[in-house]
Amino acid sequence: MKATVVDSDSPDHSLSWRDVPDPPCGSEEVLVDIHATAVNRADLLQRSGHYPPPPGASPYLGLEMSGTVAAVGASATGWQPGDRVCALLAGGGYAEKTAVHHQMLVPVPDHWSFTAAAAVPEVFYTAFLNLFLEAGLKSGETVLIHGGASGVGTAAIQLAREAGCRVVATAGSQEKVDRCRSLGAELVVNYRNRDFADAVLDHCDGVDVILDIVAGSYLEQNLKSLKLCGRLVVISLLGGSAGSLDLAAVLSKRLRIIGSLLRSRPLEEKIAIVRQFDDRFWQLLVDGRVAPVIHQVLPVTAAEEAHQILADNRNIGKVLLQIR
């Protein structure tokens, strides 16, 4: 098969689409011919050498995929060759084939394209995990979603909206502000023009939950924005890993600060997340009440161009790579 390989010896860690060995398929795994995958910021970090795949995972980039079942392991159940599927991966999406545990696969509805299906797993599972399982977001509560126009942000706004929550978001351009509003955010703050904490407190009495991709440089403003018993979930460190922590605010408002990663979790936890998402939200995706936001679809041989779009923060929603 072919896969995208990172040249770690080149100054820019260049990417090339080249021949590599086929992945082994275990007895509980299903071999999938990949049709499409999606670009995530974790791919950029892995490419630069700062986010290695977990032990046992594929060495290639790509945290999600869609495709068709090519072969089924002896102990894998529920699938047969030709089935249309998508899945969250620990790695290996930028390739022609991947092996996936049979319980991680999800059927792709007939009316979905493979590109649409590839845009779902990483961002919707991430948003669901951190809003509802980690932060315990409930109907009637208010949530602040940083990076509202990102892949995770666009998914999170829709899930929170459908859960009966008030949604506030941040974004960095008028186009992104408008898109977040169209998805259901009642207030969207352009962080380039205004302090988001001041805007939040002018709009309401604070938020119950914050989904944060920025971290360090936002820490003080995040604590200011949270109301009593608020929960801050940090899922990325775009603003650095260090910030000033006012423990008096944490104590007096009884706040919780939660760090969360999805990729490195044990398989059993990931399977449980997939099942819980399926129970609560999957039908909304099938019915089109929520949907992945797709910025652009490029051929897999243009992976470097796709990475640059994310690096420049030009995307609204997901950037997809077409493989077949």
pLDDT tens over the chain, length 324 residues:
999 999 988 999 999 999 999 999 999 999 999 999 999 999 999 999 999 999 999 999 999 999 999 999 999 999 999 999 999 999 999 999 999 999 999 999 999 999 999 999 999 999 999 999 999 999 999 999 999 999 999 999 999 999 999 999 999 999 999 999 999 999 999 999 999 999 999 999 999 999 999 988 999 999 999 999 999 999 998 888 888 888 999 999 999 999 999 999 999 999 999 999 999 999 999 999 999 999 999 999 999 999 999 999 999 999 999 999
- The class that CATH gives domain 123-259 is alpha beta
Give the per-residue pLDDT at 216.
86
Where exactly does CATH 3.40.50.720 map onto the chain? 123-259
Supply the pLDDT for residue 272: 98
pLDDT on residue 240: 86
pLDDT, residue 238, reads 86
Q: Give residue 90's pLDDT.
A: 97
CA 57 from centroid of its chain's CA atoms = 18
In this structure, the strands spanning 166-171 and 187-190 are parallel
In the block, which residue shows the tokens 């007895």? Answer: 27
Q: What is the reported pLDDT for 14?
A: 96
> Of how many residues is the chain composed?
324
Q: What is the pLDDT of residue 212?
A: 97
The residue to which tokens 């930028």 are assigned: 94
> Which pLDDT value is given to residue 244?
86
What superfamily in CATH does domain 2-120+292-322 come from? Answer: Medium-chain alcohol dehydrogenases, catalytic domain (3.90.180.10)
Q: What is the pLDDT of residue 247?
A: 93
Q: Residue 239's pLDDT is what?
A: 86
pTM for the structure as a whole: 0.97
Name which of 239, 145, 159 is nearest 189 in CA terms. Answer: 145
What Å distances lie between residue 13 and 9, 53, 230, 310, CA to CA? Answer: 7, 16, 41, 16
Strands (E), the chain: 2-6, 15-19, 29-39, 64-72, 84-88, 97-101, 106-107, 142-145, 166-171, 187-190, 207-212, 226-234, 256-259, 294-299, 318-322
Residue spans in the chain of domains classed CATH 3.90.180.10: 2-120+292-322
